[in-house]
């Protein structure tokens, strides 16, 4: 009994440093982000069993207009 308990403790002690990796893995999206000029207009409709159908279309984003006046 003591021998198996020691093996379990040693296995746990060996696995502990492996759980804290010095360089964590960071997931990166392989698809680059769209440009600021691209936007998406999406609409969804309910479906059976609390599901939804979503449809998105790409549109060009409208430019912001800044109006300045003197006064």
Q: Which pLDDT value is given to residue 35?
A: 81
Closest CA to 40 of 63, 62, 64, 59: 59
pLDDT at 53 (0 to 100): 92
Residues whose CB is less than 8 angstroms from the CB of residue 58 and which lie 6 or more positions away in sequence, other chains included: 38, 39, 40
Ordered by start, the domain boundaries in the chain are 34-62
pLDDT > 70: what percent of the chain? Answer: 77
Nearest-angstrom CA–CA distance, 67 and 36: 21
Q: Which residues of the chain have pLDDT under 50?
A: none
**Looking at residue 28, what is its pLDDT?**
76
Q: Whole-model pTM above 0.75?
A: no
| pLDDT for res 3 | 73
Structure-token match 């599901």, residue found: 51
């Amino acid at each position: 009994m003591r021998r198996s308990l020691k093996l379990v403790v040693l296995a746990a002690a060996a696995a502990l440093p492996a759980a804290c990796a010095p360089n964590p893995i960071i997931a990166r999206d392989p698809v680059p982000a769209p440009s600021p000029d691209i936007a998406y207009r999406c609409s969804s409709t309910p479906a059976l069993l609390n599901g939804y159908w979503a449809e998105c279309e790409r549109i060009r984003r409208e430019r912001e207009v800044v109006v300045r006046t003197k006064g």
